[in-house]
Structure formats: structure tokens, C-alpha cells
Structure 1
Amino acid sequence: MPKVTFPQLPVSGLFAIAKPSGPTSMSVINDLKQLVGNSRLFVEADKLEKRGKGKIPTKGKRAREIVKIGQGGTLDPLADGVLVVGAGKGTKRLNEFLDCVKEYRTTALLGCETDTYDSEGSRVRVAPWRHVTREAVESALNKFRGEIHQAPPIFSALKMEGRPLYDYARKGIPLPRPIEKRKVTIHSLDILEWKGSAHQFRWPEKEFTSDEKNAMQKALEGVEENPIIKDELEPAVSDESPTAFVLSMKVSGGTYVRSIVHDLGHAVGSAAHVVTLTRSRQGRFALEPAIDSEDKGCVPWDVFSRASESEGDVGEDGWTQWEREVIDRLEIVEGPKPQKTS
């Protein structure tokens, strides 16, 4: 790797990490704070010298000394993929990634819908799924392409008259008005792979009780046509897996991928929820950057995980491995650009 030098340090910038499925976006950012806040790449040398080798504080008044760090669009714990990170004054540029075009890959599992619209939630309703063919799904996808109006999940933190939507659903409080739909643009939406029953995915074991179903139904009464929430079972077949398929999509900011899968399940006369979700692109950052383009790649999360356990050796260029990985993908928003020398 060519030696990278900076005429002046520290810098502010943007870079992306490949978030794994499991941790929250906030926990990922908190883990990064220790590394970023102790790196001369982003922090003034005199501050690092005063701080010494001890861990920097993440709470209290002293936390103000830490370089600012934030993310440009939360990924659910289930989701993996591109998470754009801003350091220093790079945090001021993060808003542009909220409304930018994003690309996703998601696996949908038919026959069951959940309160969260994904496999992390509880089963709300099960429905027939064996009648659903690839051709039926492909035909239904036409309804979701282009500019559409999309309703957020009722079990979301969005508020209506000061109360989170999930509060209405859990307590059986009728919604005061229909959930406001958002106008979003689905630039492309296609079946990437039809798995059929050749997979290991299963419906969540946890399911809604009768009281929980009644509460949700009551919350929807008056704002949704025929909000009857009940199972529509079909004869079970031993060891048969419900149909699954993978979708690829390119969407505008604000799009709920989980809602697309949920609504698609209804459109084909069944039910569906998300079992995998990968953000493959966010603006100019991508998991697989196009060759000969200005796209930037992502730093693998295990690079930071290893660095958190042990900062590692400093190379001849004066940087640790995680710093070199970031420098290679860093977009500087203030300060000098890195100069590579042989």
C-alpha cells in the first residue's frame, strides 16, 4: 500500500463501514468513538498527548472533548451493509445521506406477517402461501415501481398527536386518523433470486396473543377498511418451508423496505415479512464499488473489532491497520486531501 501523508492533521471526513447484522447502529458508532477519538487522523496531537493512553470518556462533561462522530442513516439491528460515518465536521454532511438514493437486497418470507414487518418481531397473522408463484410476485411488483405512497408500520416510533404509533397498537387506542402516507420513489424493484422452499428460514416462534390482536384491530378501526386480524391457516405439510425470495431495489430516501415486503404479501393474497436486509449502496458509498468509478467502498467491521481489542502495530507509514483502511476510503470534507507517495 502506498504511503499516505497529510500536510496537516487532523482532518474531518466521511467514510463507510460494512455494518454486520446484530448490533444497533448506535452501538456501532459508540464502539468507533474510542478508536476515532484516540487517532491523530481526527484529533489534535496536543489533545491526544494530554489525554495519554487512557480511554477517552463517552459520558459527562469531559465527553465534549471527543471528536464529533455520527451516522448518516440508521440500519435496524437485523440489517447489514453500508453505514456512512461522519467524523469531525464531516457530521455536518450526513444529512445529505438521509435523502439520497439507496440500494437494498432483502429476503422475503411468505405466509406470515409480524408486528415489526421483519423476523425480529412477533407473529401477528399467518396466511396461505402455496398458491403464490414467481410469476404472481413479478406481476404484483409493477404496483410498487415508480412514485408510490407508502404507509409506515403501525408498530413504529412515529408519533401521531404526541403518541408513538406502537402505543396505539399495544393499548388498543383507536387511531385519531389514518397513518399519513409518504411519497417515495422506487427506481427499480426486481426478483434477484427465487428460493422457493430451499432455505433455512422459519417464521418467528413468538406470536401475538388474542388480546394483542384485538388491541391492534381496535387501533385500526375507523381508519382502515376491514382491519380483521386473524390467522388463515392451510393444511400443514411436514418439514415444508414457506416460500422465500430475494428482492433487489433502488429507492429514494425515506422508503420503508419492510413495508414494501409487507404490502407485497397482501398484494399476492398472502402475508410476508423480511428475514434478511442488506443496504448495498448509500449515495456514493457501496459494498461493491463499480470499477473505474468515483464510488467509495466500505471498511469491513472486523477491522474495527480487532482494533478495539488491540490497537495493533503502527506501520512504517505511521498508521495502524484500521487507520489505513479508513484513509483508503476517506472522503475529506475539510482539510487537505491525502497524498500518496511511493
Structure 2
Amino acid sequence: MPKTTLASFPVSGLFGVVKPSGPTSMSIVNDLQQLVSRSRLFVDPEKLEKLKGKKSDKRRGKRGLDTVKIGQGGTLDPLADGVLVIGVGKGTKKLNEFLNCTKEYRTTCLLGCETDSYDSEGARVRLAPWHHVTQDKVQDALPKFTGEIKQVPPVFSALKMDGKPLYEYARKGIPLPRPIEARSVTVHSLEISDWLDSEHSFFWPEKQFSTEEKQALETALKGIQGDVSIKDEVEPTSDDKRPTAFALKMKVSGGTYVRSIVHDLAHSVDSAGHVVTLTRSRQGRFTLEPVQEGDRGCIPWAIFEKALTDLGEVDDEGWTEWEREVIQCMEVI
């Protein structure tokens, strides 16, 4: 392995992690805390000496001597995987720049079913026809969602209206006092990367809205849309003919709701759809596939996961595997 080129330790910095689908972003940060707080890469040797024999505490705010500032530059939901930018020490002060930077995503849309969360983690709200949707139909609809566009956040979101989260209106059947405010975002590029048709392993969620839940949602939306009817337009599909799915690749501004693009695109072709996979492939200069000058690659989560169980052997310079990976990928602040 090449020798390290860092002049002195400890350091502050930024590095990218490849988050897997499943864990929350916060759990990733908390797990990383256990490693960075006991590494000479980030902690003064005197503090490390004091920490010997002390048991690490995962609870935030109760770390005692092993406190090292650490944070992330833009949450990924449990379903999503891909680039998660991590800041350590003074690097945490640089994380805000990643909230509004340009990002790239890959996502898969499954047609015929709309969910409350706009993804497969939610419950089925309604079913709609999909057999009529062709690749050409979707391709023709893409320009409507490219450039500077207006997006309306999902009604089942934590955004507040008159001090109350939107999801409370939807769940409790409280009429919305006014339309949900649309947000301006920029979609720099949007393309179909793969037309899967029915050749895939995705299914609609088993969990579905009850009659009462549909009525509550109807009541909430009637305040701004007049007569609203939420009902299935088709029967559930059998396993021998799965609903159409397709993959999209996009480059967007900060604040863009990828799930809303998929939801609204499905509506535009007279169907319904939700996200079944979501990968953030780039966040600013951190990317899964470095291709241009200034790009920084990301470290697979498996490297850190392994270290949390067993740090393993150290190299000639005294670095463990995870530390060496961070040194090679880190942007020192």
C-alpha cells in the first residue's frame, strides 16, 4: 500500500460512505462514531490514552471523553442506498454545502400501485391500470419533468401547515386549509436507463389502506380538490404477470423529491407508480463512480461493518483497513 501523505494527526475531514439499503443514516453515523472516536487519525494521542479500557457509549450526548464531532451531509431514508457524505471534526462545518448541491440518482418505478410514502416502504393507497403504458409513452412524458419544475410534496410528509404535519391531516381526515405549496426545483437531466417490463422481482406492498383510511384521505383532500374518490381501478395482479417496471437516471438540484418525480410521472401516463429502489450515485463531488477531475470515490459500508466487529491487523504504519480506506478517500479540512 502507498504511504500516507498527511502531514500530521489528528485531522478533520470529509469522506463518502456507500450506505446500504436498510439502516437509517443516523445509525450509520452512530456506528462510525465508535470507530473515529478511538482512532489516532481523528483523536489526540493523550485522549486516546485516557480512553483505554473505557467502554464506548452509542447514546448521543453521553460519550464522555470519546466525543468527536461527526455528522452527515444529507439524509438517505432506510430504503435508499448510495452516497452519504460524512464530516468529522471541522468537516462537520462543511456539510451544509451538500444539502443544496447537485445530486444524481438511479431509481426504479413499479407501475400500477400508488402508496402513501410514494415508495415500497408504504401502504397501498390505490391500484391503477398499467398495461397501456409503453416505453415510448414514458419517454414522451419525460420533458414535462425536466428543467425548472414545480413539485408538490406528498400529503403524507412531515412538512407542516398551520403548525400541523401534513400526515396528520391525511390520517385523521382533517380537511387541508389550503393547497400544499409547490416548490421550485431543477431537473438537469432525466432519462430511462432500463425498461424492465415485467421481467423483475418487485411486488406491490402487501400492506394496504383500509376503507376508513381512504375516507380520511379523501376528506383531507376535499378541502382543496373538491370531490375526491380514492379507489382501486384494477384488481390485484397475479404472480405470472407482474406490473411494468422501469429504471430512471437523473441529475437534480438540492431539495428535489425523487419519489415525487416517479409518482407524478406515473400519473402523467394515466397510471400510478411508486419507487422500489433508490440509489444516490452522486452528491456534489462525492460519487460512486469517479469520472472527472475533482471527483471523490466512496467507501463501501462493509469495510466499516467489518471493523466494528474486528479491527483486524494494522499495516506497517499502524493503520487498520478502515483507516487506510478513509485516508485514501478523505478530503482533509
Give your verdict on TM over 0.5: yes
Q: 1:214 is paired with a residue of what secondary structure?
A: helix
Distance in 2 between the 1:331 and 1:62 partners? 26
TM-score by length of 1: 0.94
Distance in 1 between the 2:14 and 2:210 partners? 46
- For the aligned residue pairs, the C-alpha RMSD in angstroms reads 1.4
Post-superposition shift, 1:53?
4.0
Contact 1:12/1:88, CA 8 A, preserved across alignment: yes
1:233-272 to 2 correspondences below 5 Å: 233=234, 236=237, 239-272=240-273
Q: 1:269 is paired with a residue of what secondary structure?
A: coil
Distance in 2 between the 1:14 and 1:225 partners? 50
AA aligned to 2:31 is D
Post-superposition shift, 1:183?
0.4
Specify whether residues 323 and 126 from structure 1 end up closer, same or farther in structure 2 by C-alpha distance, changes over 3 A only: same
Post-superposition shift, 1:7?
2.8
Deviations 1:272-302, CA, capped at 9 Å, x for gaps? 00000000000000001115x2200000000
Post-superposition shift, 1:65?
4.6
Deviations 1:36-81, CA, capped at 9 Å, x for gaps? 1111111111111101143333335544751100000000100000
Determine if the alignment matches structure 1 residue 312 to structure 2 residue 287: no
AA aligned to 2:323 is E
Distance in 2 between the 1:246 and 1:153 partners? 21
Match of 2:149 in 1: 148
Post-superposition shift, 1:224?
2.8
Distance in 2 between the 1:267 and 1:203 partners? 20
Match of 1:197 in 2: 198
Post-superposition shift, 1:235?
8.5
Post-superposition shift, 1:161?
1.4
AA aligned to 1:210 is T
Post-superposition shift, 1:226?
4.4
Distance in 1 between the 2:103 and 2:283 partners? 5
Determine if the alignment matches structure 1 residue 34 to structure 2 residue 34: yes
Post-superposition shift, 1:311?
1.1
Match of 1:211 in 2: 212
Contact 2:127/2:235, CA 8 A, preserved across alignment: no
Contact 2:47/2:65, CA 8 A, preserved across alignment: no
Distance in 1 between the 2:167 and 2:121 partners? 15
In structure 2, stretches of 5+ residues that fail to align are: none
Determine if the alignment matches structure 1 residue 104 to structure 2 residue 105: yes
Contact 2:20/2:82, CA 8 A, preserved across alignment: yes
Contact 1:34/1:55, CA 8 A, preserved across alignment: no
Post-superposition shift, 1:6?
3.2
Deviations 1:74-131, CA, capped at 9 Å, x for gaps? 0010000000000001000000000000000000000000000000000000000000
Determine if the alignment matches structure 1 residue 86 to structure 2 residue 87: yes
Contact 1:38/1:56, CA 8 A, preserved across alignment: no
Specify whether residues 214 and 53 from structure 1 end up closer, same or farther in structure 2 by C-alpha distance, changes over 3 A only: same
Contact 2:195/2:245, CA 8 A, preserved across alignment: yes
Distance in 2 between the 1:328 and 1:225 partners? 58
Contact 2:51/2:65, CA 8 A, preserved across alignment: no
Contact 2:152/2:180, CA 8 A, preserved across alignment: yes
Contact 1:169/1:216, CA 8 A, preserved across alignment: yes
Distance in 2 between the 1:229 and 1:156 partners? 18
Distance in 1 between the 2:138 and 2:170 partners? 29
1:66-81 to 2 correspondences below 5 Å: 66-81=67-82
Distance in 1 between the 2:213 and 2:104 partners? 34
Specify whether residues 256 and 49 from structure 1 end up closer, same or farther in structure 2 by C-alpha distance, changes over 3 A only: same
AA aligned to 1:319 is W
Q: 1:305 is paired with a residue of what secondary structure?
A: helix
Match of 2:55 in 1: 55
Distance in 2 between the 1:138 and 1:118 partners? 21
Specify whether residues 62 and 110 from structure 1 end up closer, same or farther in structure 2 by C-alpha distance, changes over 3 A only: closer
Distance in 2 between the 1:118 and 1:236 partners? 18
Contact 2:51/2:66, CA 8 A, preserved across alignment: no
Moved more, 214-223 or 9-18: 214-223
- Give aligned-pair identity as a percent: 66
Q: 2:194 is paired with a residue of what secondary structure?
A: strand
Distance in 2 between the 1:238 and 1:61 partners? 50
In structure 1, stretches of 5+ residues that fail to align are: 334-342
AA aligned to 2:18 is A
Match of 2:161 in 1: 160
Distance in 1 between the 2:177 and 2:236 partners? 39
Deviations 1:23-47, CA, capped at 9 Å, x for gaps? 0101111111100111111111111
